Amino acid sequence: MEANHSLANQQQQHEVFEEHTDYTQLDSMEDLLKQEDVGIEFPHQGEIRKGVIANINGDEILVSIGTKSEGVLSSREWERIPEEERTQFVIGAEIPVYVIKPEDQNGNVVLSYLRAREEEDWAWVEALRDSGEIYQGVISGYNKGGLLVPMKTLRGFVPASQVSVVRRSQAGGDTPEERWAEMIGEEINVVVIEVDRNRRRLILSERTALKETREVLKDRLLGELSVGEVRTGRVTSLADFGAFVNIDGADGLVHISEISWDRIKHPKEALKIGDEVEVKVISIDEDRRRIGLSMRQLQEDPWVRKAKQYRVGQLIKGTITHLTKFGAFARIEEDEDLEGLIHISELSEERINHPKEVVKEGDEVTLRIIKIDTDRRRIGLSIRKVDSAAYADLDWKIDLAEEVSDLETEEAEDQALEEKQPEASAPETETAEATEIPENEA
C-alpha cells in the first residue's frame, strides 16, 4: 500500500512539474534534473523538522516536510502516541518530526513524532538546567533510591539525598514503599541538576529548589520589604553578573551595574564576601521570588556632582574626543568623566555633511553649554553659538560676576593682612612701655 501511494504521489508531482515547465528553455537532461530539484531541501538522518499532516489512512499518517515524497509515521508509532495527543492529529495540523531514515525501499522518508518530542524535551530540560529555573511537577512513582517525576515525555529522578528535609521527615518505614508510596500524586518543586542524553539520565533536586530555610525566610521578607527601603546586609557570594547580599536570612541581587557609578568588570573589584553593605531595594518580584538591590543609588552620582558646576550658556574649554556622523563628542575642562555632544548642526553656521569638515579628534576648542540633562546624564554643546548675540547679555553678566568675585576675594585678602598687622607691631609697643617705666621711677 505504501508503495502504491508513493508511486501515485510521485506521478502527481511529475504532472504538475510538466505543466509548469517550458522544455524549450532546457538544454539538457542535467538542466531538467536541476529544474526539478529547485527549492527542495533534502532531509538528513537525526534532523528535526516541522511537518504538516497530509493524509491519515487508518493508523498510517503521511506528513509533508517539503521533500519530493511525503514522510511516513508508522502504525507502531501511532499506537504509542498518548490518546489525548492523537485528537490533535488532523489533516493540515503542524507537528514536529524526527528523520529516522531519509529514504526507505519505497522512496518514503521514515519519520517519528515521539522521537522529535523527546529531542525537544531534552533541549528543554538542558535549558532548565542552565537557567536554574524551578519546575513544578507531580511525583509519579519511586524506586529504592528516590522519587520519579515526569517532565513532559522524560522521566526525572530525585535521589533521596536531594529530597527536602521536610519531605524526608514525613517518610517513615524501612522499605521504599513504606517511605515513598504515599507521596505519589503530590506536587513537588525541583531544579534540573544533571542531564545526560546518551545515558538517558535526568537528575532533579528538591533541596536546591526550596533552598530549605532560606526560602521560608524569603517568603517573610518579600511580605515585609517595600521598594525604596534601605537595609543593611552582608555579601554572601559574587558572580560575573553581580553580588548576592543577605538581608535578614534571604538573598537579594545587586546587579553589577548597581554596585558603583564607576565602571567595573567584576564585582570583586568593589566587594568581597563577608562585606557589610547598605543597599536600597529597587525591585520586588513576588511571582519570581526575586529581590533587586542597589548600592549605587545610595551614592552621589559623580557625573551629576560635576555637572552642577556648570550652567546653560556658560563658555568652556573642551577637547574633541570622538567623531560620528551626527556630531562630535568633547571632553569638558580636562575632566575624563564629563563629556558633551556637539550636534552636527551646532558645529558651524554653514551646512556640513560630516563633523570632520570642521574639527578633528584632539582639537581644543571653546564651547558653549546649551543643554544640561542630569536625568539622562547628557550635556549639549555648541561651537556655532560661542559668539552668538543671543548670549551677549549672559556673557556680560558672567564676566561681571567673575569680576565682583575677584574684587571680593582681593578685599578679603587685604582685610586679613590688616588684621595681622597690629599683631606684628604689638611687641614693639610693649618694649617701649617697658623702657619708659624705669625712667618714671627715676
Q: Please give the CATH topology (third level) of the domain spanning 1-10+44-116.
A: OB fold (Dihydrolipoamide Acetyltransferase, E2P) (2.40.50)
pLDDT of residue 323: 93
- For the full predicted model, state whether its pTM sits above 0.95: no
Long-range Cβ contact pairs of 261-269 (< 8 A, separation 24 or more)? 261/296, 261/299, 261/301, 261/302, 261/303, 266/238, 266/240, 267/238, 267/239, 267/242, 267/243, 268/238
Strand-strand pairing, 339-343 and 378-382 = parallel
442/436 Cα distance (integer angstroms):
10
CATH 2.40.50.140 range(s) for the chain read 1-10+44-116, 132-210, 213-298, 303-392
Name the nearest CA neighbour of 95 among 76, 75, 112.
112
Indicate the class that CATH gives domain 132-210: mainly beta
Strand-strand pairing, 109-112 and 71-73 = parallel
pLDDT of residue 426: 46
193/153 Cα distance (integer angstroms):
18
* pLDDT tens, per residue, the chain with 442 residues: 444 444 444 444 444 444 444 544 444 444 544 444 445 567 888 788 888 988 888 778 888 888 777 888 877 888 888 888 888 888 898 888 888 888 777 777 888 888 888 999 999 999 999 998 889 999 999 998 899 999 998 999 999 999 976 677 677 777 888 888 889 999 998 999 999 999 999 999 998 887 755 666 677 777 788 899 999 988 988 999 999 998 876 789 999 999 988 888 999 999 988 889 999 999 988 888 889 999 998 888 888 888 888 888 888 899 999 999 999 999 988 777 788 999 999 898 888 999 999 999 999 999 988 898 888 888 999 988 888 766 656 655 665 565 556 566 666 655 666 666 554 444 444 444 443 434 444 3
Q: Please give the CATH topology (third level) of the domain spanning 213-298.
A: OB fold (Dihydrolipoamide Acetyltransferase, E2P) (2.40.50)
355/326 Cα distance (integer angstroms):
8
Q: Please give the CATH topology (third level) of the domain spanning 303-392.
A: OB fold (Dihydrolipoamide Acetyltransferase, E2P) (2.40.50)
pLDDT of residue 40: 56
DSSP string, 46-103: T-EEEEEEEEEETTEEEEE-SSSS-EEE-HHHHHHS-HHHHTT--TT-EEEEEEEES-
pLDDT of residue 146: 92
Name the nearest CA neighbour of 213 among 246, 254, 171, 166.
166
